[in-house]
Amino acid sequence: MSDRRELYRSPNGDTWFLAREPADGRAFIIHQPNAPSGGRLSHIELAAFLKANANGPEHQALLRLIGTLVQVPPYRD
């Protein structure tokens, strides 16, 4: 079972998670469509997720999360 963190939940109920496979540390995206769409989980490699139509709010949520990993020193004049 992979470890996962919710990235984004759309108004229609679709949910995206950032997941990590504990055995090898590999990260990927899990997409869970809403129940009327079938609700069947899909796993998406990070590169493919960010490459394909990467303008959606779920993509922006992943980019914001990645941005929190970077420590920026304070601006000095």
The Cα 45–Cα 74 span in angstroms is 34
Tens digit of each residue's pLDDT (9 = 90 or more) over 21-74: 989 999 999 999 998 988 899 999 999 998 877 789 999 999 999 888 887 777
E-assigned strand segments in 1-77: 3-9, 15-20, 27-32, 42-45
SS (H, E, C) 30-48: EEECCHHHCCCCEEEEHHH
Question: Does the reported pTM lie above 0.85?
Answer: no
What pLDDT score was predicted for residue 9? 96
State the Cα–Cα distance between residues 7 and 63, nearest whole angstrom: 10
C-beta neighbour count of 53 within 10 angstroms: 8
Check whether 1 has a pLDDT greater than 70.
no
